Chains A and B, each alone.
Chain A
Amino acid sequence: MNEILKLHYVVDGNNFSLAGQAASDVKKMLKTLGMAPDVIRRVSIAMYEGEMNMVIHADGGEIDVDVTPKAVVMRLADRGPGIADIDLVMQEGYSTAPDDIRALGFGAGMGLPNMKKYSNDLKIESQLGIGTTITMRVDINSRG
């Protein structure tokens, strides 16, 4: 696959303050690679939203990022509760975030719609009680 870079992160589900560190690190790495600002921006936002969801809804998880000459692919896997109705959670404004999370500025129900908007492809695989894996691809040479 001609990989330029492979990154792996373990996301702690119990530390809200540190959440977003993986997205921050990926952003820094892509900058170092000299990637186009628009691509960096889309990867950063999509990954940050996914990482926050892992922390807020799924007790953490693991993220793999593959950078190839054509695209940045992010795979976010958790062992959280799973998602029962994928069409429902993709709706803008749908959120099950509890009040304490809302008080922290999350729970607008915009995260997954954002992830879809900023990536060229978003795939959700989920099984109730087992976990969720979200794969996002941001193409390097086309706009999403």
Chain B
Amino acid sequence: MKIAEIACLLQAQILCGQDAMDMELETAFGSDMMSDVLAFSTERSLLLTGLLNPQVVRTAEMLDICCIVFLCGKTPGEFIVELAEEKGIALLLTKHGMFSACGILHANGLLEGANLE
């Protein structure tokens, strides 16, 4: 699914990464614990989180995650957006909470992005 389509399904605002909108993603991982993301997320997944701090972007960077969705309409500060821009990571902002955002994307074909043994 293209990032543009994800943004559309979640009625999300694109905070940065306009030029990544054609990128195709197949999986997503939702979590507010960065160590869980580092432990379980597959690379190149979409990351959905309710957390707002620069370490969300750094965690994404370590995993080659190219798009982060911020939930519940919580808007990240300038430093976070600048860091994401610098790392080439697209940021989306949706009013949906974790449950409905994941539900919508799952119903539309995105798969679980966790490496679970």
Contacts and interface: CB of A to CB of B under 8 A. Distances in A.
A111 B36 CA distance: 9
Interface residues of B, number: 22
Interface string B40-84: 000100000101011110110111100000000000000100000
Contacts of B114: none
Given A24-B58, A24-B61, A41-B64, A48 B53 contact: no
A40 B33 CA distance: 22
Contacts of B22: none
Contacts, number: 75
Contact of B51 (A19, A105, A111, A114): A105
Given A16-B55, A41-B43, A106 B62 contact: no
A64 interface: no
A59 interface: no
B62 to A, nearest CB: 4
B39 interface: yes
A108 B33 contact: yes
A117 B38 CA distance: 11
Nearest to A47: B62
A22 to B, nearest CB: 11
A20 B36 contact: no
Contacts of A2: none
18 contacts: A19-B55, A20-B54, A24-B58, A41-B43, A41-B62, A48-B62, A104-B53, A104-B55, A105-B33, A105-B35, A105-B51, A105-B53, A106-B33, A106-B55, A107-B33, A110-B36, A110-B38, A113-B39
